[in-house]
Amino acid sequence: MGHPLRRILLFLMAIFLILATASLGAKKPLPPVGEVTIELKGVGVIFGVSWGHGVLWFKGKKYPFHVEGLSVGDVGFAKISARGKVYNLKKPRDISGAYGALGAGVALAGGVAGLAMQNERGVVIDLSATQQGVKLNLGPQGLTIRMN
């Protein structure tokens, strides 16, 4: 085997090992333990801001909360209605906190977008949103939830 071919094979093996290791570290959350609905409005050029309210349904009870967010790379205005499943929640107050997500997505008028977020307590929210207007997210997105 010549040197160029050996280097290519080693490079491909290294990439395979990196990808395999990364997928092993990803944990699957437990079954959903609750649901949320969120109503957000957002506006931005370069840096966007969003605000709104939501409701957590957990163990047969309803818990209202406020939502504030900051995302990098927003352009335009959006009104977002979202529903989602909640994972790894042990008590209602654990929903509070700063949520982060990685990725990029485009939502066009009447389009559907999805987003999975996790806070510092390990609570995961998997949202599906129908958005009005155009909103482009290019980088890490953040969202803060505060219980009422």
Higher pLDDT, 134 or 116: 116
Q: What is the pLDDT of residue 75?
A: 61
SS3 assignment for the chain: CCHHHHHHHHHHHHHHHHHHHHHHHCCCCCCCCEEEEEEEEEEEEEEEEEEEEEEEEECCEEEEEEEEEEEEEEEEEEEEEEEEEEECCCCHHHHCEEEEECCCEEECCCCEEEEEEECCCCCEEEEEEEEECCEEECCCEEEEEEEC
User: Looking at per-residue confidence, does 107 or 43 come out higher?
Assistant: 43
Residues 6+ apart with CB under 8 A from 23: none
Residue 12 has a pLDDT of 59
* Percentage of residues of the chain with pLDDT beyond 90: 26
Instruction: Answer whether residue 36 shows pLDDT above 90.
Output: yes
CA angle 81, 83, 89 (to 5 degrees): 135
Rg (the chain; Cα; Å): 19
Closest CA to 70 of 54, 51, 48: 48
Average confidence (pLDDT) over 128-141: 54
Between these two residues, 18 and 41, which has the higher pLDDT value?
41
Against a cut of 0.85, is the pTM above it?
no
Work out the mean pLDDT of the chain and round it to a whole number. Answer: 73
Predicted pLDDT at 18: 58
Fold of 34-147: Lipocalin (2.40.128)
More confident residue, 29 or 146: 146
Each residue of 41-96: pLDDT tens digit? 877 776 677 788 999 999 999 999 999 876 655 667 777 788 889 999 999 999 99
Q: How far is CA 107 from CA 18, 37, 56, in A?
A: 31, 19, 25
- 140 pLDDT tier (thresholds 50, 70, 90): very low
